[in-house]
Amino acid sequence: MVGRYRLGKRLGRGGMGTVWEASDELLGRSVAVKELHVGDGTQFRGAVREARTVAQIKHPHVVVVHDVVEHEGRPFIVMELVEGRSLADRLAADGPLDPAETARTGLALLGALNAAHARGVLHRDIKPANVLLEAGTGRVVLTDFGIARLAGSTTISETGAFVGSPEYTSPERMQGAGAGPASDLWSLGVLLCAALTGASPFHRDSLGGVLHAVVYDEIRPPEQAGPLLPVILGLLERDPERRLGTVQAERLLSAYVTTGTLPLSDLSDLSDLVSGPKPPRPARRRTWLIAAALVAVAAAGGVTAASLAGDRTAGRAPGAGPSAPATASATAAPASPGAGAPVPQAPAGATPEPAPPGYRIRADPQGFALAVPEGYQRTTDDQRVFYSSPDGAIRIGIKVKPSAPEGPLGVMRRADAAGPDTNPGYRDRSVLATTHNGLPAALWEFTWDGFTRAEGARHTFDLCWDENGRMYDVWVSAPVSRLAEARSRFDAALDSFVPAGAGSASP
């Protein structure tokens, strides 16, 4: 090829080109040659211009471009040959990465993107297949800028067809808006999820399903993310103007790679992700989930979390040795299925939303209404109301009391401080100041050893907030093995909850 490059075995083929292993016979070195799949001369000139711009990006985590040549009317980009495999191949062969390795990979890619964006180059196709892992050194290399857009110019990527990998494409691009550096950062957030689980969180069986998932579906990062959740959720902010920026993401990941924790000073800066204007109620899905992620590192970093333990005495489950978990209102022993109380009428002025499928709107004499799963039974003690699943394993708890001077966060912090005394094996706890329907709130999560060894560890989601002079506390406690079901119950309870006096006349 042009008297210098001899093509060898084919390394791979994608929508934009075919990559070959080749020999640079002039310099006596092995290289990778990408044959671009382009059409007319305009596209060729765009490809050459774009490749030359990428060649100016000097960064250890960006593939080195050596040359751009034409052979038999087709453009070829000559690049360094990275001996190793792609991240996609690594995940397929060996399974997901752990958080530490994921953070290291993300930090390398952020450096590559920062260097590219500084020269006006957008990658536009960040995915595991375009990340190379060099054998022996572990170097992470971002490659395949073949569909990258050089800001302000026409390139091979503008053919009228969808360009990129839908599962890794930002919502703004899906909706036809212009792409910017923030679009690459969204893709990086998806890639981090894929590195932790082996698959994109937006994978669906059809392109239409992918489009809907990216643009509309609730974003639930993987549980494997652990302490990286604040970074991932910051990158997966659908509003590009509020999305986590390169500098802050680099600072967070660098701190985690170095120390194993995220710096709390930077986490506090992410509060805008959970305290901004709330969308209309039908579109609102769990600000608390993002809030929890922002402090998911609390346990690892030794953060004092917040809860509602100061005014409770923990109950005991029937036959259980350890005390029951202290929640914002303290979780009491499960009620027997036959102990349900009659369902009273809704509080005056309340306007609860229709119950989701499988739920009923329960109006409680304590002054609230909420959606409760069919078959759940109501019990009370001297301070709290419980709705328990038929087997007693999952409990929804509610407590109403006058607002406390220290507010929801202060009350939660008292509860957290008492957590080790009231919950054997108390761990994985986190507390965050957040909002609920625009009102001051605090979210507490924790895991503990559970009532019995047979049942195993339990996890609690607990949110309290101030409204009209009252403090409302809603929590769900369930075995760790049923965490997804518990989270769904918690979502439904909070989304449907209507306090006494709420309705059209409320401010």
The two structure tokens encoding residue 11? 């390394």
Residues 366, 471: Cα–Cα separation, whole Å: 12
R_g over Cα of the chain: 27
Return the beta strands (E) in 419-457 as ranges: 427-436, 439-448
Distance CA 279, CA 261 (A): 32
Angle at 218 (CA atoms; ends 346, 215), nearest 5 degrees: 130
Q: Would you say 198 and 91 are in contact if contact means Cβ atoms under 8 Å apart? A: yes
Cα distance between residue 382 and residue 379, in whole Å: 10
Write b or e for each residue in 279-294: b if 16 or more Cβ atoms lie within 10 A of its Cβ, otherwise e: eeeeeeebbbbbbbbb
Angle of the 99-118 helix axis to the 181-197 helix axis, nearest 10: 160
Active-site residues: which are they? Answer: 125
3-state SS assignment for residue 149: strand
Q: Are 408 and 319 in contact (CB under 8 A)?
A: no
Q: 98: Cβ–Cβ under 8 A, 6 or more apart, which residues?
A: none
- Quick check: 393 and 380 in contact, CB under 8 A? no
* Token pair listed for 184: 């690459």
The three-state secondary structure class of 45 is: helix
Spell out the residues 6+ positions from residue 277 whose beta carbon is closer than 8 angstroms to its own. Answer: none
Name residue 465's beta-bridge partners: 441, 472
Alpha helix (H) residue ranges in 14-74:
41-55
- Who's near 32: CB < 8 A, 6+ residues apart? 11, 19, 20, 21, 22, 78, 79, 80, 81, 82
Strand partners, 133: 85, 140
* Triad 299, 304, 307: Cα angle to 5°: 100
- Between strands 384-388 and 395-402, the pairing is antiparallel
Two structure tokens written together for 461: 């989601």
